[in-house]
Amino acid sequence: MSKNKVGFPSPDFDDLRVCDGCTRAIESDSNAVLYFCDTVWIEMERFDLPEVTPQEMYCLDCYPNEIPVPHLGTNEGFSLISMREEEDGSYTYDEIRILKGSSKNQGVEWSVLDVIREYHMTRLEDFPYTVTPMYGYILFRRSGIDLSGFISEGELKIPSEEKDKILDLIQVYVDRGHSRSYTPDAL
């Protein structure tokens, strides 16, 4: 995977200033991890982007060391970056190195939309953000569910006997006042 194909968030794109795991602000002059990929879903439509594009940002505490459920059919990965806020309020980025990558020929067969629909019962139209494979993983992680534990024989298979447990955990999360759909302050 070519480093110079990854690209950076645009300087005036505000959404990538907080960690998408814990929602803490990423401070100027600090390092962070960008998740990039070339497959996204917007509403119900899959879009295959012409190149891998930064989608989410994580602080070093929330960086999971590997792509937890790499998606077969998606080029995706993490890169370590440093971010600096300039005097005019814009941001500049330096890529330090690619940390992990998974090409579209690698990974696990899973339908990001199906697991969200089945367990979160959220209308995809209601998501305020683009859905990525990592996003699907994080959505479950917020309720304490690690989808990577359900990988078996190259597929993400959630056993039917686990379904009620997962739905209960998501319900606890919702009962604590969090929405079923993702918002950055809903942690």
Could you list the residues that contact Zn ion (CB under 5 A)? 19, 21-22, 59, 62
3-state class percentages of the chain: helix first, strand second, coil last, to nearest 5: 25, 30, 45
> What single letter denotes the amino acid at residue 98?
I
**Beta carbon of residue 93, minimum distance to Zn ion (angstroms, whole number):** 17
Report which residue type is found at 169. L
Query: Least CB distance from residue 62 to Zn ion, whole Å?
Result: 3
Residue 27 or 162: which CB sits closer to Zn ion?
27
Instruction: Give min distance, CB of 182 to Zn ion, in A.
Output: 15
Q: CA-CA distance, 4 to 183, in Å (whole number)?
A: 31
Nearest to 29 by CA among 79, 91, 99: 91
- 138 vs 158 by CB, closer to Zn ion: 138
Q: Which is nearer to Zn ion, 67 or 156 (CB)?
A: 67
Q: How far is the CB of 117 from Zn ion (least distance, A)?
A: 27
Name beta bridge partners: 37: 53, 76
Q: Which is nearer to Zn ion, 82 or 106 (CB)?
A: 82
